[in-house]
Homo-oligomer: A and B are copies of this chain.
Amino acid sequence: MSPESPLAAEAAVKTNPGRFFEDFRLGDVLVHATPRTLTVGDASLYTALTGSRFALHSSDDFARSLGYPKAPLDDLLVFHTVFGKTVPDVSLNAVANLGYAEGRFGAPIYPGDTVTATSEVIGLRETSDGKSGVVWVRTRGLNVHHELVLEYVRWVMVRKRAPGQVAVPEPTVPELSDAVPVERLLIPRGLRLQLYDRQLAGSPHLWDDYAVGEKIDHADGMTLEEAEHQIATRLYQNTAKVHFDQLVADAGCFGKRIVYGGHVISIARALSFNGLANAFRIVAIHGGRHTNPTFAGDTLFAWSEVLAKAELPGRPDLGVLRLLTRATKNRPAGDFPALGENGKPHPDVVLEFDYSVLMPRQA
C-alpha cells in the first residue's frame, strides 16, 4: 500500500457497496451469496412470526396424506429466502421496489433442502432525470438437484453512482405477462387429494364454492412490532438498511424503519387462512405492489377478491384460484377497500398481491 492510498480507501474495496445502475449489464447472471439450508427451525420461526395455520406446512402427517414426503416449507418463506439473497447484489442502492411479475413456484422445499439463487439482468432503462435507472431481473431459486424452486421477475429503481457521467445502455424493457398462464403452472409431483381432510384443514369450502368476483374479509387484525419484522427479515438474510437501521430511517422521509414488504405479504397470507384455509399451495405470483409503507405499531387486516378460476388439465380433483389479496393498515377490511378517490389505491391499503393458489375440488 502506497502512502497515496490510505487504508480507508483500501478498506472500501473489501466492503460491498452494492451495485449502482451503471454496474448492471444486460444478460449478466448474478450468482448470489450465502446458500441457505432451510430447516424445521425456519418453519417454526415462520409460524411464530406470521401465525400461519395452513395444515400442509404445519403437519408432516397431513402433508403425507397429500402425497408429500413430509411438510414442505411455506411457499412465501421460500420466496423471502430467495429474495433476501438478491438484495446485496441487486437492490442495496435501490430507491424503490417497483414490482413483481411472472412468479412461479416449482419443486417444494423440505426441511434440509438447500436453496441457491441467481438473477439475470433482463431490462435496463435510465430514468429521465439521469440520476437513477430501472433494473429488471429474473431471479431463480434452485435446490441442490438444480430443480427450479421459484422464479420471478422484479424491477427496482437503482441509484447511479455518478449521475450523467457514464454512457448508459440503450433502454431495454422486457415484455412481461399480466399473469402466468395456467399451462405454465408447476403442480407438485405426486400430489393427490383423495384423503384431503377439510376438518383438519380448517374449512369446508373447496374450489367449487368460490365465485369469480367474490370478496372475502379475513376478519382478524395483527399489530406488528419492530422486533418481529426485524427478526423475520434477518431470518431471510435480507440486508436492506431501511428495515434495520434507525439512523438511516431518521434521515429518510418517514423517520421510521420500514417493514419489509415480504413480511406484509406473509401476514396477509396468514390472515387469509380465515376464508381460504384450503388454498394449500401458492403456484404463481402475477404481480404485487406495496402501495403504502408499513411501520411497527401498524395493525394489518386483509381481504381477498377471486379474480379468476381455472381447471387443470387432467386434474378433476384440483383447481386454481387467482386471488387479489389486499392488506390494510389500522382499519378493518370488512368494507373491502380498494381504490381511493381519483382511482388511486386506497390510502389505507398497503399491499395489492395478485397470485394463484391450488385448492381441492369436490369429488
Chain A residues at the B interface, C-beta cutoff of 8 Å: 1, 7-8, 10-17, 31, 33-37, 39-45, 47-51, 53-55, 58-62, 71, 88, 111-112, 114, 116, 144, 199-203, 205, 209-211, 213-223, 225-228, 230-232, 234-235, 237, 239, 241, 244-248, 257, 274-277, 297, 299, 330-332, 334, 336
Contact = CB atoms under 8 A, between A and B. Distances in A.
B61 A114 contact: yes
A43 B39 contact: yes
A227 B222 CA distance: 12
A172 B297 CA distance: 44
A34 B54 CA distance: 7
Contacts of A248: 221
A88 B114 CA distance: 35
Number of identical protomers: 3
Nearest to A88: B202
Contacts of A203: 14, 16, 33
B202 A34 contact: yes
Given A11-B216, A33-B203, A41-B41, 19 more contacts: A1-B211, A1-B214, A8-B334, A10-B214, A15-B216, A15-B275, A16-B202, A16-B219, A33-B53, A34-B58, A35-B61, A40-B40, A48-B231, A49-B231, A53-B239, A223-B245, A227-B227, A227-B231, A246-B299
A231 B116 CA distance: 28
A244 B231 contact: no
Contact of A221 (B11, B112, B247): B247
Contacts of A111: 40
B228 A49 contact: no
Nearest to A55: B34
Contacts of A33: 53, 55, 199-203, 277
B200 A31 contact: yes
B41 A53 contact: no
Contact of A59 (B35, B218, B276): B35
Contacts of A200: 31, 33-35, 116
Nearest to A234: B51
Contacts of A10: 211, 214
A1 to B, nearest CB: 6
Contacts of A61: 35, 37, 114, 144
Contacts of A219: 15-17
A255 to B, nearest CB: 13
Contacts of A221: 241, 244-248
